[in-house]
């Protein structure tokens, strides 16, 4: 039974590298991750489905900024398990630069599909756009004193 009194619905397994991810995560992320996984195991929470090459996997947002993610699979448990299905955690990592998704794909041996020419072109920026940007005019180098400006006091003293 869990702390809330609900029995687990799924078993829980970790990729050994995902367990290392969890242990190396900051303390607050580790605590939030374990609480989320407890909710998943009891059936109270389900992560969003991933698409494309990671279809069949799910993701959970760990923190309120959504900077950390858990990627897991819901798969049949081994015959010796007490549960028919298990939650298999693949990665617990930051989302920055798609780190968690790239790591999950690598751990599962999923190669990225090559993109076609049109998709590649849509994801890149056009060199023509850079050509039309306004080029800033150089100013005086920093640190040099400004030229003296005549003031009211200095002009009266000269007369």
List the one residue out of 116, 95, 115 whose CA is nearest residue 50: 95
Q: What is the pLDDT of residues 10-31, one digit of tens each?
A: 999 999 999 999 999 988 999 9
The pLDDT assigned to 18 comes to: 92
What band does 4 get if pLDDT is binned at 50, 70 and 90?
Answer: low
Residue, of 152 and 68, whose pLDDT is higher? 68
Q: What is the pLDDT of residues 89-148, one digit of tens each?
A: 999 999 888 889 888 998 888 877 666 677 666 666 666 665 666 666 666 666 766 666
CA distances from 74 to 30, 119, 159 (A): 21, 31, 91
- What whole-number distance in Å separates Cα of residue 158 and Cα of residue 151? 11
The pLDDT assigned to 111 comes to: 79
Q: What is the pLDDT of residues 31-61, one digit of tens each?
A: 999 999 999 999 888 888 988 888 899 999 9
Residue, of 92 and 1, whose pLDDT is higher? 92
């Amino acid at each position: 039974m869990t702390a809330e009194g609900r029995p687990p619905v799924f078993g829980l397994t970790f990729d050994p590298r995902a367990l290392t991810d969890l242990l190396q995560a900051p303390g607050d992320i580790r605590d939030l991750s374990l609480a989320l996984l407890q909710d998943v195991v009891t059936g109270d929470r389900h992560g969003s489905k991933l698409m494309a090459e990671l279809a069949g996997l799910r993701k959970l947002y760990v923190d309120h900024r959504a900077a950390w993610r858990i990627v897991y699979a819901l798969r049949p448990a081994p015959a010796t398990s007490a549960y028919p299905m298990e939650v298999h955690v693949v990665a617990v990592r930051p989302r920055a630069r798609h780190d968690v998704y790239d790591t999950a794909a690598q751990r599962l041996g999923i190669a990225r599909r090559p993109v076609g020419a049109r998709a590649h072109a849509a994801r890149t920026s056009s060199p023509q756009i850079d050509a039309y940007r306004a080029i800033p005019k150089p100013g005086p180098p920093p640190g040099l004193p400004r030229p003296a400006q005549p003031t009211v006091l200095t002009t009266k003293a000269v007369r």
